Amino acid sequence: MFGEKPKCSVCSKDIEDGDEVFVKMRYPKRKGFTEIKAYLKNEGRFICENCFHQNKSG
Ligand SMILES: [Zn+2]
């Protein structure tokens, strides 16, 4: 995910530099931020601001 161009997991829009995004993920069982970073690569899904607000109201 990181190192490649990230995309919104809902609308597949390219995430641009400076865009506000949301990350959807399941909280890992084991704690620790370094683990969360690794975890994001496998489990994290970006959601663009647009789709995030749509989900909220819908
Ligand atoms: Zn989107």
pLDDT of residue 1: 46
pLDDT of residue 3: 59
Single pTM value for the model: 0.65
CA of 34 to the centre of ligand 1 (A): 27
**Average pLDDT by consecutive 10-residue portion of the chain (58 residues)?**
75 92 81 75 88 76
CA of 25 to the centre of ligand 1 (A): 16
Q: Angle CA(16)–CA(19)–CA(22) in degrees, nearest 5?
A: 115
CA of 45 to the centre of ligand 1 (A): 11
Instruction: Note whether 5 and 44 are within 8 A (CB).
Output: no
pLDDT of residue 31: 66
pLDDT of residue 58: 54
CA of 3 to the centre of ligand 1 (A): 19
